[in-house]
Structure 1
């Protein structure tokens, strides 16, 4: 008898034990779960979810714009990688954690604010390939994706395809060695491999845009970069090193572009991203408050981070936290409310390694070796003739003074989870720094930006703590925000 195609081979009845049956069910359920995740990544959902609402924030007018100049809206957004979501980290957040729900809200939010240039962090590779790439293209954007090769998530730079062409890119791997110029002070050594990256795109103006704004013919285009800096409560030292590498690689990329283009026309230069540091921390100050001097709080945190010993068994790749829960299991957890939120990475060997418990001590006395490394880090940053100007620092106090903090006028937070909030995300203009100019205690004014052919005209408003409502209010949350970060956006005019 000929066996029909697709007919299962009969199983020996003696093998049909309860254990065998249970194992086959487990294998089948895992296969179905993998298939479901793959379908959802491609935008195919078994039961289409309605598009939920999100809080729409106003875009605040900083100063009037010029009618004859090109206005560009630049957005930075950590969209929370789906592969990093675990129910114990987000125990009260409900169904917004499902990609079938969250993907639609994220897309609706991006289309509502309609940036001309969009920089995303924590974008899952599978979601980019099967969802974001097509959706962005359908919405008028070209896009580029970059990730560390073992991570499931990475970075996206998207831009209006009618305005820009991207012919050149540059990639930053913070763990790789790079060459210094003979006159440049060297960084102190890296203490841990982080697997973090950044990248940059050179965007040329399309002829149709130059025809509309003829003065752009005297400009070469724009460099747009984005990054997601190392996250660990005691990671300030590594983040400060990474900021130096970011600026150094930008300088190198700009030098190469000038050679390729064969002229010295100016290039507008912006860097965005989740820097995982606040405005009073060494990484931020190293960019914006030059010449930087590590003292007080910044030095205490730096020294404390140098005293922390990372366990050799520590898994560096965040993707190990990838959730494997099925939707049925997620719904059960929603109903039971089980799980406890973790906002800090814990090291099971902390006691054995004699590690500090507070990453931000009020007082810390560094050892002689730590003092030397801190000074070396300071010298390296002050030896680099580039600095950064934060768009929110320059303009937010004008439009929302009650939410402009004492820390260089930055807003109070861009990241809001159940147990922590703070400002981690930035849109930065990169400009030359002449070492006779002191910005250590000086903020850039709107007028000073125009020296760099930039006019800041609008900023997307960020909420205050009171705006976040009663607890539990950790994000993401239905009808509020679809990520644990808030998108930020600046409208600037190219002069």
Structure 2
């Protein structure tokens, strides 16, 4: 090969190498830009489209609790002679907090709350609860509502003093109070939207004071529904659900239970209300069943039950969450010997007791919710051998057992 041909071949090789180098640089440039000559013509591999779930219900299920925790200033040996060391404050307060820590309801209503500033306020804050505490100036214990601020936003808070409420005149001064709070659900971006109007109360305890206790309960329900309606008028797009909890000191056989659940008042109810339409002192009490009406000094300026119903009677009825307890108890005990633990004392589905003290055993505590609400789960009552002979004991720090349920709001 002559020199000219050799030079031409060398030039051709150099040009070829240059072209190859340019291709490499171009390919590298395309790769750096996230593109390749092949990707311009390739389609992504087929994959299923991921759709989004949306609930047909407006709100998620929530858990609610009502619990009379037994005020420490009421822990007297004469009242609880079988409690032993369980009346000691340091032991009982640990029991109460451990129970609240274990269940951690979304919303809690506690009664007979004392030592709030000294103990419960900080302990409940550690569990994430914002708390609202109220007591009458004549009492050392009161009521508390607890909720979690990351789930709820407080819209309005009101308190009730049954002694001074102007709805209707009281039969006597009792120092009992109630709480009402409107709590809005926080949506995904943290803004409040609709919610609940939650009530908490502790009504007058004296057994024969049927009239005053029924009056207090009707005032409580009247103001609860009024607040719900006020909020609904402000923004019709929002939906507010009433929840009425507390220690009503009312058995299922008493008048108010029939009133709130939409059952007719019996002649026995009317008689008990009429003969108790007066104040009761600390002395000997009348026998409701035998005392003739003409022998009683009734307060003529107190409205009778028919006038009360016309004035502040409920516009809507509610269901008692624990009216389902008997059915669930039977399912739980099916196939077992339930002769000693059957819950059917009242015949309306309520448990035989929520209070199991030395001198009284019966159902006094309730959680009333709308009839349209769905009850998903109920915290069952313990069998009687666990609470006998009386509470408090080594399993329970109060003479009342807590009520708790998971509900789906309408």
Give the deviation of 1:136 after TM superposition.
Answer: 1.0
Deviation at 1:121, TM superposition (A): 0.3
Q: 1:209 to 1:304 in 2, by over 3 A?
A: farther
Aligned residue for 2:304, secondary structure, equals helix
Query: Contact conserved, 1:279 with 1:423, CA < 8 A, in 2?
Result: yes
Number of positions where the alignment pairs a residue of Structure 1 with one of Structure 2: 342
Cross-structure match for 1:91:
81
- Name the counterpart of 2:130: 142
Distance 1:392 1:175, change over 3 A: same
Within-5 A mapping of 1:9-408: 70-124=60-114, 127-178=115-166, 187=168, 189-208=169-188, 220-259=194-233, 261-290=234-263, 292-296=264-268, 298-306=269-277, 310-311=280-281, 346-347=282-283, 350=284, 355-356=285-286, 358-359=287-288, 361=289, 363=290, 365-367=292-294, 376-381=304-309, 383-393=313-323, 395-401=324-330, 402-408=342-348
Number of the residue aligned with 1:462: 381
1:412 to 334, 352, 355: 352
Contact 1:303 1:371 in 2 (8 A): no
Give the direction of change, closer, same or farther, for the CA distance of 1:468–1:379 in structure 2 (3 Å limit).
Answer: same
**CA distance 1:174–1:425, shift in 2 (3 Å):** same
Runs of 4+ in 1 over 6 A off after TM superposition: 65-68, 371-375
- Counterpart of 1:112 in 2: which secondary structure? helix
In structure 2, the CA distance between the partners of 1:238 and 1:106, relative to structure 1 (3 Å rule), is same
3-state SS of the aligned residue for 2:208? coil
Q: Tell me, which stretches of 5 or more residues in structure 1 are unaligned?
A: 1-64, 180-186, 212-216, 312-345, 432-448
CA displacement at 1:83 relative to structure 2:
1.4
SS in 2 for 1:208: coil
Cα 1:171–1:375, aligned 2, differ >3 Å: closer, same or farther? Answer: closer
Partner of 2:392: 476
- Structure 2, unmatched stretches of 5+, are 1-54, 331-341
Q: CA deviation at 1:378?
A: 3.1
Secondary structure at the residue paired with 2:196?
A: strand
8 Å CA contact 1:73–1:491 kept in 2: the answer is: yes
Deviation per CA, 1:301-331: give whole Å up to 9, x if none: 334434x6534xxxxxxxxxxxxxxxxxxxx
Secondary structure of the equivalent of 1:403? coil
Q: In the superposition, relative to structure 1, how do residues 114 and 294 fare at CA in structure 2: closer, same or farther (>3 Å)?
A: same
Q: Structure 1, residues 361-393: CA drift from partner, whole Å, max 9, x if none?
A: 3x5543498698998313422543132211111
Cα distance in 1 for residues equivalent to 2:170 and 2:408: 39
CA contact (8 A) 1:190 1:238 kept: yes
RMSD, aligned CA: 2.8
What is the deviation of 1:191? 1.9
- For 2:400 and 2:306, how far apart are their aligned partners in 1? 30
CA–CA separation in structure 2 for the residues paired with 1:143 and 1:371: 39
3-state SS, counterpart of residue 246 of structure 1: helix
Q: Report the alpha carbon displacement of residue 133 of structure 1 after superposing the two structures with TM.
A: 1.2
So what's the TM-score if we normalise by structure 1?
A: 0.63
Question: 1 or 2 for the larger relative contact order (CA 8 Å, sep ≥6)?
Answer: 1
Q: Deviations over 1:151-173 (max 9, x none)?
A: 21111000122211113111111
> In 2, Cα distance between the equivalents of 1:222 and 1:209?
19
